[in-house]
Amino acid sequence: MAAALQTNIPPVKVPATFRAVKKQSFAPFRVRCAVASPGNKRYNITLLPGDGIGPEVVSIAKNVLQQAGSLEGVEFSFREMPIGGAALDLVGVPLPEETIAAAKESDALLLGAIGGYKWDNNEKHLRPETGLLQIRAALKVFANLRPATVLPQLVDASTLKRQVAEGVDLMVVRELTGGIYFGEPRGIKTNENGEEVGFNTEVYAAHEIDRIARVAFETARKRRGKLCSVDKANVLEASILWRKRVTALASEYPDVELSHMYVDNAAMQLVRDPKQFDTIVTNNIFGDILSDEASMITGSIGMLPSASLSDSGPGLFEPIHGSAPDIAGQDKANPLATILSAAMLLKYGLGEEKAAKRIEDAVLVALNNGFRTGDIYSAGTKLVGCKEMGEEVLKSVDSQVPASV
């Protein structure tokens, strides 16, 4: 199983003192929605604010999620738990056992951001990012979905020419729990010549490739029916197997047009002609790089959400931006990526597509009305902070008129 590849980072034990405090500090609380009734659907959501700007953007996204749900007959029970640097400061580990337990008991998780300069010199097992790897392992999420859409309102914010960026709408499906990031053997050792050598292993089993490929085929089927599998099959044996397995599965999806592309060419094509792509599926390391590249086509990494899904159990939803400690607490963060992650939570995690659409439309309305945070600001628009942008989206959530695109 892919999850087994992650166990090089062992579960952590939490001091008994935290287990005693936890019941008081992190008790769940029920949010009663305005249209609550006995027949309403109810979901348990674990909030992981994390570090830097994470608490700011998660707070706003929670309010938007609550409002959209209330208008569609959905209730939420929110529980906030520590992870990353916040958990390190609180209990000395990046992922407390209490957080893992709460995560597994929930219907979905919304994460803010992890990391910061404060913990950069920590040992690997005490880095905030280790908490993120551990929560992914605990939830067995293996499929990372990262949409990259150039909104009409923000096309001029892209670093690409308008004629290249306009109309881009693609999805990167990244395998999340295998490959070189988790393969064994790995490490640093001294060779027979007394020289240090660092090594990692790119490894994939057939079932790992098959399951991510199925997610990608299904995703492409719901979009425009085109899937591009990205590999390096001209050099890497793991990629040869990857291409073989993806090609074999294509017969099960005759309505999806499958193509293959080497990763170096894909990196070039993303900036040369990104509109040729609909859905991209690729391994862990290639997906990590290509999805970040695709994000910049949109104009700002602060606009992009993501979803990490498993075969069963709760999904993990988070913006792809970092913790931005340099602007944390200054009301400068862009909350839209986290708000859109909440929309993905509703759509992919809970199947509540109407509530998700309300949030997506509300974001467009706020942008149509000219509101911009600093990262997407341009002349002729109104510069606002994190809180005001959230308030503008919240005002638009209950609009019954779909936003024009």
State how far the Cα of 402 lies from the Cα of 150, in Å rounded to an integer.
Answer: 18
The predicted-structure confidence for 339-383, as pLDDT tens digits, reads as follows 999 999 999 999 999 999 999 999 999 999 999 999 999 899 999
Q: Check 41, 140, 262, 292 and give the catalytic one.
A: 292
Q: Check 43, 232, 253, 348 and give the catalytic one.
A: 232
Residue 400: pLDDT band with limits 50, 70, 90: low
Q: How would DSSP label each residue in 288-322?
A: HHHHHHHHHHTT-GGG-EEEEE-SSS-EEEEESS-
Looking at the predicted structure, is the pLDDT value of residue 287 above 90? yes
- Least confident range from 36-50, 133-147, 235-249: namely 36-50
The predicted-structure confidence for 43-76, as pLDDT tens digits, reads as follows 999 999 999 999 999 999 999 999 999 999 999 9
pLDDT at position 302 is 85
- The listed range with the strongest mean pLDDT (16-30, 85-99, 390-404) is 85-99
At residue 167, φ and ψ (nearest 5 deg) are 90, 0
What would the two tokens of residue 360 be? 């997506």
Structural fold of domain 40-144+304-404: Isopropylmalate Dehydrogenase (3.40.718)
The predicted-structure confidence for 14-51, as pLDDT tens digits, reads as follows 433 333 333 333 333 333 233 334 457 999 999 999 99
204 is catalytic: no
Compute the average pLDDT of residues 204-215: 98
State how far the Cα of 363 lies from the Cα of 360, in Å rounded to an integer.
Answer: 5
Asked if 40-144+304-404 and 155-299 have one fold, the answer is yes
255 is catalytic: no
Compute the average pLDDT of residues 245-249: 98
Residue 80: pLDDT band with limits 50, 70, 90: very high
User: What's 404's DSSP letter?
Assistant: P
Q: Please state, in angstroms and as integers, the Cα–Cα distance from residue 88 to each residue in 13, 24, 315, following that order.
A: 12, 19, 23
Q: Please state, in angstroms and as integers, the Cα–Cα distance from residue 119 to each residue in 54, 65, 122, 128, following that order.
A: 16, 31, 5, 7
Question: What are the residue ranges spanned by the domains of the chain?
Answer: 40-144+304-404, 155-299
Residue 270 near residue 277 (C-beta atoms within 8 A): yes
Neighbouring C-beta atoms of residue 46, cutoff 10 Å: 26
Average predicted confidence (pLDDT) for the chain: 89
Q: Check 89, 156, 264, 311 and give the catalytic one.
A: 264
pLDDT at position 267 is 98
Q: Which of 208, 281, 219, 280 is CA-nearest to residue 253? A: 219
H or E segment and range at residue 128:
helix 128-139
Looking at the predicted structure, is the pLDDT value of residue 402 above 90? no
Angle, helix 386-397 to helix 54-71, in steps of 10 degrees: 10
What percent of the chain lies above the pLDDT cut of 70? 89
pLDDT at position 193 is 96
Compute the average pLDDT of residues 167-192: 95
Largest CA distance in the chain: 73
124 is catalytic: no
pLDDT at position 301 is 83
Structural fold of domain 155-299: Isopropylmalate Dehydrogenase (3.40.718)
Q: Check 22, 51, 181, 348 and give the catalytic one.
A: 181
What percent of the chain lies above the pLDDT cut of 90? 81
User: What's 151's DSSP letter?
Assistant: -
pTM equals 0.83
Q: Check 140, 169, 226, 288 and give the catalytic one.
A: 288
292 is catalytic: yes
Neighbouring C-beta atoms of residue 186, cutoff 10 Å: 13
State how far the Cα of 135 lies from the Cα of 10, in Å rounded to an integer.
Answer: 11
Looking at the predicted structure, is the pLDDT value of residue 84 above 80? yes
